[in-house]
Chain A
Amino acid sequence: MGFFLEVLIGGLLAGVLYSLVALGFVLIFKASGVFNFAQGAMVLTAALALVRALDVFEQWHWPFAVALLSAFVFAAVIMAIIAWAAERLVLRKLVNQEGIILFMATIGVTFFLEGLSQSLFGADVYPLNVGLPKDPVFLLESLFDGGILVNELDIWAAVIAGLLVAGLALFFQRTRIGRALRAVADDHAAAQSVGIPLNQIWFIVWLVAGLVALVAGTVWGSKLGVQFSLSLLALKALPVLILGGFTSVPGAIIGGLIIGAGEKLAEVFLGPSMGGGIEIWFAYVLALLFLLVRPQGLFGERIIERV
């Protein structure tokens, strides 16, 4: 039982990290209908900018807190520039084009970002330490023999993700800009007609997605080190989105948790009998099954077609 819980909690915490990446996708998809393939590259770029700036500031012997804060500001500015450029140079030119064309454009953005960020910041693996504790801790020792082993970093990641989601929910539901974002997501022309400037909104959405990428990059970077493989996280976010629905923020969270917990449990409990390696493909098979049963995802807008 203790072992099962340990695997489950470990999986859920890993799932939180998937959710963080998926969130960025959902934000942009909701507001502009664009499936932003570049979200993974944005995570990589944000993490690289952060870790490299932090290195430089620390070499200048700035106090850690100041260096860290400055590095975050630097990375945020980079994300803002990317958001501005994406809106100005890509989206604005392609307004009213088919979704697939915009999708192709984001693939272009992906390669561009991957190339640019690695040539600017280097292509090595950089360890990132932003002061998050990484020690393993034992929970519920009184209940189970030996307790449950959990990585403290994962718990912090979950806390950060929770705060981020709460913040986003407040932003979307209760602010004028949030309402404007929902309006743009529903109907571009109508949104413009009530005085919502489309270009600004797109910039804001990409900026928010960029900041979410920065958070995801920070957490993943702390866990795995900042390296090119962060960019591939985009691929793991895909099944999360299929499960949760492309338009739902809570869906992205729940989807991430299910995938995270599911693949760990499958690996540990089914792995031995099936030869292992389940973790690699489990998420995709689950997503495939979901597509057959409930294509709109758990929380996606229900597709109603009356005959």
Chain B
Amino acid sequence: MADRVRSLTDVLLSVESISLSFGGVKALTDISFDIKKGEIRAIIGPNGAGKSSLLNCINGFYHPQEGAITYKGQRRSRMRPHEAAEQGIARTFQNIALFRGMSTLDNIMTGRNLAMRTGLFWQALRLGPAEREEIDHRKAVERIIDFLEIQHIRKVPVGQLPYGLQKRVELGRALAAEPELLLLDEPMAGMNLEEKEDMCRFVLDVNDEFGTTICLIEHDMGVVMDISDRLVVLDYGKKIGDGPPEAVKHDKAVIDAYLGVSH
């Protein structure tokens, strides 16, 4: 993607020496890094390196015992997940977390939750402002459905969909919130090559068309090198590398830890 031109200067989120432990077991130790507006930032590292924990800290599922996270210039303490969502952080999960009983459409509609504001009474009757609002949201959702090419499964309960499509619906739900920062926890895990390429294209297109900042965890090094602007490398809860793919690829510590070179 040589033709992706951008100026990455504004910091959207910065993580300042956070540490997280669960009952004495250290999951993250003194991690600092930042995510710049408009970039695709990847977090990589071997299993158990603390990647998901880091993502969970950013979106408020976990609260680090030490350090702070600054988002859009605001230092925040103990933010809860729904508050993170309100501030424009959306995410997907490593093990798909969809509303299995609902259709694709309803799942993505739920992603619009924060944008919906009319009163209960109007909503129940689908009258007046509620009807207009429902139509507006439906339009936004249809645009996402079109974008992700999932028109054919609009009305299908997501529980019946194959894995790759579920991942796509989950991405759709996250996009429905029109997030500023999108966290993707292994968006391509368990996919075959073709599905992976589709997903890569969607991630790049999201970044490109909507200007969404993306922070993703991914195992497939090829994918990571291809699509991310900068990488953070974790190992045993510590940061061992940070920088553009080319630099990280040649970093000795990273090669040793990640590519499993024996010492």
A contact residues vs B (CB 8 Å cutoff) = 170-171, 174-177, 179-180, 182-183, 185-187, 189-198, 301
Within B66-99, the residues touching A (CB, 8 Å) are: 80-82, 85-86, 90-91, 93, 97-99
Question: Are the CB atoms of B98 and A190 closer together than 8 Å?
Answer: yes
Interface centre among B86, B101, B126, B170 (most CB of A within 10 A): B101
Q: How far is the CB of B216 from chain A (nearest CB, A)?
A: 15
Closest partner residue, chain B, to A172 (CB atom): B124
State A179–B91 Cα separation when bound (angstroms). 19
Cβ contacts under 8 Å, A179 to chain B: 106, 109-110, 113
A175 — nearest CB in chain B belongs to which residue?
Answer: B123
B238-252 vs A, CB cutoff 8 Å, 1 = contact: the mask equals: 000000000000000
Alpha-carbon distance A192/B113, docked complex (angstroms): 11
**A171 with B110: CB separation less than 8 A:** no
Q: Which of A187, A192, A197 has the most CB of B within 10 A?
A: A192
Chain B CB within 10 Å, residue with most, of A177, A179, A183, A190? A190
Distance between A159 CB and nearest chain B CB, rounded to angstroms: 20
B64: Cβ under 8 A from any A Cβ: no
A189 pairs with B61, CB closer than 8 A: yes
Q: Please measure, in the bound complex, the distance between the C-alpha atom of A215 and the C-alpha atom of B166, giving whole angstroms.
A: 41
Contacts of B102 in A (CB 8 A): 182-183, 186
Contact residues of B between 124 and 176, Cβ < 8 Å to A: 124-126, 170, 173-174, 176
Q: Pull 27 A–B residue pairs with CB atoms less than 8 Å apart, ordered by A.
A: A174-B123, A174-B124, A174-B126, A176-B113, A176-B118, A179-B109, A179-B110, A182-B99, A182-B101, A182-B102, A183-B102, A186-B99, A186-B101, A189-B93, A193-B59, A193-B81, A193-B91, A193-B97, A193-B174, A194-B90, A194-B111, A194-B113, A194-B173, A195-B113, A195-B177, A196-B110, A198-B82
A301 to chain B, nearest CB (A): 7
Q: Which residues of B contact A183 (CB under 8 A)?
A: 99, 102, 110, 113
Give CA–CA (A194, B124) in the complex, Å: 21
Report the minimal beta-carbon distance from B88 to chain A, rounded to whole angstroms. 10
How distant is B205 from chain A, measured CB to nearest CB, in Å? 21
Give the interface centre of A176, A182, A193 by most chain B CB atoms within 10 Å: A193
- The CA-CA distance from A189 to B52 in the complex, in Å, is 14
For B124, the closest partner residue in chain A by CB is A170
Q: Is B99 a contact partner of A190 (Cβ separation < 8 A)? A: yes
Known: A176-B123, A195-B82, A195-B177. A190 touches B114 (CB 8 A): no
Additional 16 contacts, C-beta under 8 A, given A180-B110, A185-B101, A193-B174:
A175-B120, A176-B123, A183-B113, A187-B100, A190-B93, A190-B97, A191-B99, A191-B110, A193-B59, A193-B90, A194-B110, A194-B114, A194-B173, A195-B86, A196-B82, A196-B113
Query: Chain A residues near B59 (CB, 8 Å)?
Result: 193
- Contact pick for B85, options A170, A182, A194, A301, CB 8 Å: A194
